[in-house]
Structure 1
Amino acid sequence: MFDLIFSVFEAWNVLGLILMASVFLVIGGGMVGYFLFWSLKARKIKGRVAGIKMVGNASRNDDSNPADPPVDGKGALPIVMILFFILFPMIFMGIGVWMAYTYYDLTSNGFRVEANVVRNESSTDSDGNTSYKTVVSFTDRNGASHEVRDTISYGSSPSFDIGSRIGVYYDPDDPTRFVLDDFWHNMGISIAFIAFSSVFILIFSSIAIYGNKPARKGLKGKVSKGGYGQETYYPVFEYRTPQGERAEFTGSVGGNTFLHILPGTPVSLLMIPGDPPKVKKRGYISLIFGLIFLIPGLFIGQMALAQFKFSFGVVLLIGGAVAFIFFKAVKFLDKIPSEDKRKGWEALRSGEAFNSENFKVTSKDNSSKGRLLTSGEIRDRTASQVKVTRISGYIMLLLVLGLSIGAYYAGLSMLSYVNEGISVRGEVTGLRSKRSDDSTVYHALVKFTDKEGKERRFEDSVGSSHPSYKQGDDVAVLYLPDSPGDAIIDRGIWNWTLSGLLAAGAFFLLWAALASFRTVARAERSVSFRTAL
């Protein structure tokens, strides 16, 4: 009985992965296919932006009286903003600076001795996450023995193995005040506190400085107190049909800015001839989002196939799913009138239902969407959007810096495993689940024997919502000779996933930041825009 239950749960896990992969692949494949269809079928034509349509925020009056009394409680907003973006970050920055000062003070003025790792004390929070603090023993220069606990804790697995030796720096006047001789163990949290606090302070300072900075000459406009945050803008494109007639269509993709599609901006369009022709703006959004779904879908599918094992549980679940779908299909068909069902079956038998002429690609008509903005309204919104876009560019550059640092050190760490690591075989001894508010993540527990014949155990740092391994699985293990406790499951090229994703994120944000600055520059010097006004 227990074998059957275990088989069903195992099948549920694998089939869940297969279903997830299928959904990702269908969505991603459909979006990529849509992009390829338009790229291969449509003609490339030239057009230009003829105007901007606005949807939303219709009740706001651009000509509101500037002398309107302030809303009750609004005066407290700057105080809240200062507390959140200045005071709290400065507190965390102070903690980081104090931790850094303590480390450098002890390493510069303290005495260094060798210590033994006695044990690792663990604690678990309300979410089930476990953190570890290292307890070491050492003998100071006066011959006195001390057993002290580190003040810094990390999760996932202990930072140091029991029985290993590590250097410590201690205060000769108070030997219980000490730090371990490991830079990143002590400075990692300190650097994170200082860096993220600086980002918050810089963001707030940028908003305070640039948010009140007057717009450049030529882009001055009246900025509404209510703002334009609830508005969505759609470009109106102008082009010529194959017959030489002038035509317009409203784009289907809207946004909260139009700096990149100011009136008069030339654009590339795709057109499928017809009456009327089907037109859309040329772009790579569907391809990019399609790949975002396709690549994880392939990874999840590969993981599901690697775990798939035909069993009675698989047959039971698939049979149940087929029966459920059949039941729903029968109920749906019962609601269709008999005459419509007869015509449908005849179309299927004759093959007419599969005639390609019955499948049509359309471009949605958005001509009735919103209203056209006037020249004055475009000028006002451009002045506001230039400020916001410039600030966004600076924020993205700060994020690029953080992601680049993370990618560098993640790649450096993995490079040390590649160059210095020792590869052995290990065995999965079990799974540890960690539950958060809305999901459960599973981490593999692995044991292996190092080159010295000592058995080691570790918890895999990579977790997933579906167990990637099961008890008894044979896995490749990679560990460093100096720290066998920091071993990892060797996943080949997938070991570089973290550094690769961080680097890709940094590259994408850098491109987005530079694009923001170029967009602002074009908006400020755009002759076509000023002509349109």
Structure 2
Amino acid sequence: MQVILLLIGLLLILIGVFLIWDQLQARLSYEKVLGTITGYRKRMDYKSGDNLRMMFYPIIEYVVQGQKKKLNSTLGSSFPSYDIGESVYIYYSSKNDEAKLKSIAPFYGGMLFLLAGGYLGYIFFATFSFSFFSVLFVLIILTVIFWILFKQLKKFEIKSGSELIERIRNKLAGMSKLREADESELITTQEELLSTDLFVNKNIQYAGPIILLIGFGLIFLAGYFWIEKIEFMEVALSAEGEVVDYEVRGSGEDETFYPIIVFTTKNSKEYEFTHEAGSGTDPYYTVNSTVQVLYDPETPYDAIIDQGAWNWLWPVLISFIALAFFGSGVKMVFQWMKIKRFKEKLKEIN
């Protein structure tokens, strides 16, 4: 189980690094070219009951060295991010005859993958029993996995992070790569793009403000966690503690183990607290093991196990989630405003 956590964590980290490096490399070494959005390719990403999730992939035309070229971007979004006819920048490599849409999405997605992979890695190292044979076993498994992964990437000629994500998404959805010959999946006019008959635009008038409000709420929650953590870290003192027991919450497969720590403050008083984070599998810490503790000298019961950079995990995670909701809400609200203005113009023309 622990090895599986490590493997999944490493895979997520690799995807995150791949996404970030892929876009960073393009920005540093490719030529920046101005292109024009000429349409979108749409497809159903998955179906659950009557709920459909459509993804929209922009088509960009651009000119390099006097030749007109077309880019079918593999960077999709849940609703169109650009207007048809809008100018956008792409990065083009004449050496590889390869183009990529300029976007911050790979950076943001890469960071989410890195955070998720790092968290799984933290769980592995917190629960793993280190010995010569256990470490050797993990190294052998990792070597085999990476060798297989390298061979597969080479076999399928996957050269970019966005292409890797696209292949995985297509595989999970049971679909092949986007079909360029299927004209029924194309959106080529602004009228069709902003039509309320388009599935993604039907409920955007209500969904946008709701998601925006959720984003606002999460931003305030993230702010609360940041302020609380900063104030605590500014006054916290360090002490050596001992794991004396566990508080078990839940039952059966839902059991979670929360370590109970005893420590002594600077004025030689002993206190006990239950750590805020628990483990859903084997306990993170063994009974009688020694851990570093951070505590508030004014309220010593307000204490945590010192986990270094991981002390900031919750504020960081909530901040990322808050920004995701807030950004999506803003985009949806602006999309609805754009649809509304477009409908008003059509009325004036008619």
TM-score (norm 1): 0.48
- Root-mean-square deviation (Å): 4.5
Q: 2:325 aligns with which of 495, 509, 512?
A: 509
Within the candidate set 15, 23, 44, 2:11 is matched to 23
**Paired residue for 1:403?**
218
The 3 A distance-change label for structure 1 pair 386 and 437 is farther
1:472 aligns with 2:285: no
| Inter-partner Cα distance in structure 1 for 2:237 and 2:142 | 48
Q: Is the 8 A contact 2:126 2:285 kept in 1?
A: no
Query: Which aligned pairs between 1:78-117 and structure 2 lie closer than 5 A?
Result: none
In 1, Cα distance between equivalents of 2:73 and 2:179: 7
User: Does 2:83 correspond to 1:290?
Assistant: no
SS at match of 1:381: coil
1:231-242 pair list within 5 angstroms = 231-242=54-65
Bigger Rg, structure 1 or 2: 1
Cα contact 2:276–2:304 (8 A) shared by 1 = yes
Question: CA offset at residue 289 of structure 1?
Answer: 1.7
Aligned-pair distance for 1:474? 1.9
Which runs of at least 4 in structure 1 moved beyond 6 Å after TM superposition?
A: 306-309, 362-365
2:334 to 518, 522, 532: 518
Query: Do the aligned residues in 2 keep the contact of 1:444 with 1:469 (CA within 8 Å)?
Result: yes
Are 1:266 and 2:87 counterparts? Answer: yes
Q: How far is 1:55 from its partner? A: 3.7
Which of 72, 85, 89 does residue 250 from structure 1 map onto? 72
1:292 Cα deviation (Å)?
1.7
Counterpart CA distance in 1 for 2:51 and 2:249 is 43
Counterparts of 1:46 and 1:408 in 2: how far apart (Å)? 39
Structure 1: 5+ residue stretches without partners:
1-11, 58-226, 333-352
1:33 aligns with 2:21: yes
How far apart are 1:426 and its partner, in Å?
Answer: 0.9
Task: Give the Cα separation in 2 of the matches to 1:320 and 1:270.
Answer: 39
Higher relative contact order by CA 8 Å / sep ≥ 6: 1 or 2?
1
CA contact (8 A) 2:192 2:198 kept: no
SS at match of 2:67: coil
Matches within 5 A, 1:36-51: 36-51=24-39
Judge conservation of contact 2:194–2:342 (CA < 8 Å) in 1: no
Query: Quick one: distance in 2 between partners of 1:250 and 1:228?
Result: 26
Distance verdict in 2 for CA 1:49–1:307, change over 3 Å = same
Alignment of 1:317-466 (within 5 A): 317-318=137-138, 321=141, 361=159, 366-369=179-182, 371=184, 372-373=186-187, 375=189, 377-378=192-193, 380-381=195-196, 388-418=203-233, 421-434=236-249, 441-450=256-265, 453-465=268-280
Which amino acid is 2:87 matched to? P
Residues 1:470 and 1:368: Cα distance change in structure 2 (over 3 Å): farther
- In 2, Cα distance between equivalents of 1:407 and 1:322: 36
1:9-67: CA deviation from partner (whole Å, max 9, x where unpaired): xxx74x5554344223222222223223333343221221222344459xxxxxxxxxx
Distance 1:405 1:301 in 2: 29
Change (3 A) 1:379 1:43: same
Q: Is the 8 A contact 1:51 1:237 kept in 2?
A: yes
AA aligned to 1:35 is Q
3-state secondary structure, aligned to 2:195 = helix
Structure 1 position 488 matched with structure 2 position 308: no
Give the Cα–Cα distance (whole angstroms) in 2 for the partners of residues 315 and 418 of structure 1. 34
Q: Partners of 1:230 and 1:318 in 2: how far apart?
A: 39
Separation in structure 1 between the aligned mates of residue 7 and residue 159 of structure 2, nearest angstrom: 28
- Whichever residue aligns with residue 517 of structure 1, its letter is V
Contact 1:431/1:470 (8 A) holds in 2: no
The 8 Å contact of residues 54 and 370 in structure 1, kept in 2 or not, is answered as: no
1:410–1:319 distance in 2 versus 1, CA, 3 Å? closer
Task: Specify whether residues 404 and 248 from structure 1 end up closer, same or farther in structure 2 by C-alpha distance, changes over 3 A only.
Answer: closer
Residue segments in structure 2 that go unaligned for 5+ positions in a row: 164-176
Q: How does 1:219-238 map to 2 (within 5 A)?
A: 229=52, 231-238=54-61
Secondary structure at the counterpart of residue 180 of structure 2:
coil
Q: Structure 2 matches for 1:112-261, cutoff 5 A? A: 229=52, 231-245=54-68, 247-258=69-80, 260-261=81-82
Q: Which amino acid aligns with 1:288?
A: Y
One-letter code aligned to 1:236 = I
- 8 Å contact 1:425–1:475 — kept in the other structure? yes
**Shift, 1:427, TM fit:** 0.6
Q: Deviations over 1:84-104 (max 9, x none)?
A: xxxxxxxxxxxxxxxxxxxxx
Whether the 8 Å CA contact 1:52–1:234 is kept in 2: the answer is yes
The answer (yes or no) to whether the contact 2:243–2:290 under 8 Å persists in 1 is: yes
Task: Compute the displacement of 1:515 (Å).
Answer: 3.0
Are 2:195 and 2:201, in contact at CA under 8 Å, matched by a contact in 1?
no
Partners in 2 of 1:504 and 1:236 — Cα distance? 29
State the SS of the aligned residue for 2:10: helix
User: Is 1:278 matched with 2:98?
Assistant: yes
Q: Secondary structure at the match of 1:34?
A: helix
Structure 2 length-normalised TM:
0.69
Quickly say closer, same or farther: Cα 1:402–1:313, change in 2 above 3 A. Answer: same
1:425 Cα shift?
Answer: 1.9
